[in-house]
């Protein structure tokens, strides 16, 4: 690598470059496996390319690809889509979407799990996540069936593995040309490594604490076995943690000096969050086997659950499976697990500011982002991110820019802290309106440290070699050593690469602050 002193100014600035991707619409491939309006898509892809965007992200839906029956995969429509992206000169991030689309914030189309899976669920509803009342959630298979042979002769992990191997075989030419630069592995609802603790389909509304989702018979049996092995066969799963829209203090479990602080509560929360860690670890190991040798990165997404973050109990994070408290880091063990698979940690809610949130939600998105990204960097992994809600104003863009380079530009070399990439949610007619698109172009340029689009990632120190095999398994004890709480890295107050919007954009930013 060239010594910093011999680099030109442009070459030095390029080391501050953060690539920016744009998510494609959820239903760009229809539920019937058709690329519906290719001409419109190509026109929009060309507009993104002209705006300097590095690439796009696309959900590759299990419910579409394997809909006809076990191991009956049809990749035709996706091949057509990938061809269009390649011809427009963009890179691609592909999500292995093993979850249902529909029932969550921003879901405008419905793509259920494959029908043959739902049919199995008719006779064995315990294959789905279940709450205390017995309500089933068909968004994603419970991790309780990861290693149970209940799905037409296969376990859930085998299904995910076979799907990824089929993707590699059928999309091999696009992998070889370098079109696909990262594979994000869906590990739960909305593609995120979490439990479906706050489903809108079951009546949850912000800022409800959500509910634990471990009452299917398989997870119940697993907990009973774990409690017995720990010398407490009498311990049961919590029955005092409230309902979706409760506040923490109204429950026995989360209130001050509640169950979550007792030996029994801590045992349960450790078990619940550890199950999630091993679920992610096992599926990423299969992903690594499927894609080893390909020139790409693996990634996993963690949800930005920012409400109740300022409360001692962090209730909404706990029900989702993130055992995060003031004195216990619930995210860094995930980063440590990802490090074994050379995987990127993708985090959400990059655009949010505390001042925009309602005070009664005890929400702190800025501190949460700082904590999670710092934990990733401390584990020496790459971190990437996305915005949680569609925003087109300079206030949101400046917050994303701040998180992308928390200590700003380094005009002599690479900045110490820099996100690996940011994916903008999402391509829409609204984004492509003239005023919005012009501001977005400025945002892209600022993400690129005021440099032009750079087609060669090596120039901004993103080396993309063949994916290496996962490192040896990390013991749960070693993963849990990462729960030791540490202060996050310091962030600048504001970005040094500001997007200054017009009056309208500034007004939108102010309105977000007012409606809190």
Q: Name the nearest CA neighbour of 275 among 161, 347, 193.
A: 193
Is 348 known as a binding-site position? yes
Q: Which two tokens stand for residue 98?
A: 């093993």
Largest interatomic CA distance in the chain = 68
Collapsing DSSP to helix, strand or coil, 111 comes out as: strand
386 is catalytic: yes
Contact 506, 395 (CB under 8 A): yes
Is 79 known as a binding-site position? no
Is 227 known as a binding-site position? no
- Catalytic residue, from 66, 139, 351, 386: name it: 386
Collapsing DSSP to helix, strand or coil, 129 comes out as: strand
Strand 55-61 relative to strand 297-302, pairing: unpaired
Q: Which two tokens stand for residue 218?
A: 């398989």
Is 232 known as a binding-site position? no
Is 251 known as a binding-site position? no
47 is catalytic: no
- The C-alpha atoms of residue 29 and residue 40 are separated, in whole angstroms, by 13
Is 449 known as a binding-site position? no
- Residue 116's DSSP bridge partners are none
- The C-alpha atoms of residue 405 and residue 354 are separated, in whole angstroms, by 19
- The C-alpha atoms of residue 282 and residue 322 are separated, in whole angstroms, by 18
Please, which contacts does 220-224 make with residues 24 or more away whose CB atoms are closer than 8 Å? 222/144, 222/275, 223/268, 223/271
The whole-angstrom distance between residue 355's C-alpha and the CA centroid of its chain comes to 24
H or E, element range at 170: helix 156-170
Residue 147 per-residue DSSP state: T
- Catalytic residue, from 184, 192, 286, 317: name it: 192
Residues 6+ apart with CB under 8 A from 36: 27, 28, 29, 30
Is 50 known as a binding-site position? no
- Other Cβ atoms closer than 10 A to 220: 16
Which residue is it, tokens 């990634």?
Answer: 299
Output the known binding site for substrate.
Answer: 59, 99, 107, 301, 306, 348, 387-388, 426
Among all residues, which ones are annotated catalytic?
A: 192, 386
Output the known binding site.
Answer: 59, 99, 107, 301, 306, 348, 387-388, 426
């Amino acid at each position: 690598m060239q010594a910093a002193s011999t680099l030109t100014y442009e070459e030095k600035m390029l080391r501050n470059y953060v690539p920016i991707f744009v998510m494609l619409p959820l239903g760009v491939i229809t539920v019937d496996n058709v690329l519906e309006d290719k001409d419109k898509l190509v026109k929009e892809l060309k507009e993104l390319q002209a705006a300097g965007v590095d690439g796009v992200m696309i959900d590759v839906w299990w419910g579409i690809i394997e809909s006809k029956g076990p191991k009956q995969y049809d990749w035709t429509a996706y091949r057509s889509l990938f061809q269009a992206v390649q011809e427009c000169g963009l890179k691609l991030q592909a999500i292995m979407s093993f979850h249902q689309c529909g029932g969550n914030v921003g879901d405008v189309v419905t793509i259920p799990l494959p029908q043959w899976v739902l049919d199995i669920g008719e006779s064995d509803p315990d294959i789905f996540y279940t709450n205390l009342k017995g309500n089933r959630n068909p968004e994603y298979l419970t991790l309780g069936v990861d290693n149970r042979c209940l799905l037409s002769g296969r376990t859930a992990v085998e299904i995910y593995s076979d799907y990824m191997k089929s993707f590699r075989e059928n999309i091999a030419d696009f992998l070889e040309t370098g079109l696909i630069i990262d594979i994000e592995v869906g590990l739960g609802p909305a593609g995120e490594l979490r439990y479906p603790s706050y489903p809108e389909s079951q009546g949850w509304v912000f800022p409800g604490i959500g509910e634990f989702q471990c009452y299917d018979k398989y997870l119940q049996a697993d907990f009973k076995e774990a409690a017995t092995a720990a010398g407490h066969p009498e311990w049961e799963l919590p029955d005092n943690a409230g309902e979706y829209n409760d506040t923490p203090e109204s429950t026995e479990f989360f209130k001050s000096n509640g169950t979550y602080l007792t030996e029994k509560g801590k045992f349960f929360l450790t078990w619940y969050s550890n199950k999630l860690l091993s679920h992610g670890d096992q599926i990423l190991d299969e992903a690594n086997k499927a894609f080893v040798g390909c020139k790409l990165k693996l990634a996993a997404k963690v949800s930005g659950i920012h409400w109740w973050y300022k409360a001692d109990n962090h209730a909404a994070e706990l029900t989702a499976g993130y055992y995060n408290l003031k004195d216990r880091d619930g995210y860094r063990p995930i980063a440590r697990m990802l490090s074994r698979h050379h995987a990127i940690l993708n985090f959400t809610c990059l655009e949010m500011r505390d001042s925009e949130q309602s005070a009664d939600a005890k929400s702190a998105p800025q501190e949460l982002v700082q904590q999670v990204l710092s934990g990733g960097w401390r584990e020496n992994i790459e971190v990437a991110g996305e915005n949680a809600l569609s925003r087109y104003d300079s206030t949101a863009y400046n917050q994303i820019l701040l998180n992308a380079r928390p200590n700003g530009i380094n005009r002599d070399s690479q900045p110490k802290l820099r996100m690996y990439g940011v994916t903008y949610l999402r391509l829409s007619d609204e984004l492509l309106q003239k005023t919005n698109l012009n501001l977005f172009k400025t945002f892209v340029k600022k993400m690129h440290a005021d440099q032009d689009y750079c087609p060669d990632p090596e120039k901004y120190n993103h080396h993309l070699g063949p994916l290496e095999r996962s490192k040896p398994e990390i013991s749960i004890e070693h993963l849990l050593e990462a729960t030791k709480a540490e202060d996050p890295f310091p962030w600048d107050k504001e970005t040094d690469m500001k997007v200054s919007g017009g009056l309208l954009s500034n007004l939108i930013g102010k309105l977000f602050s007012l409606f809190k």
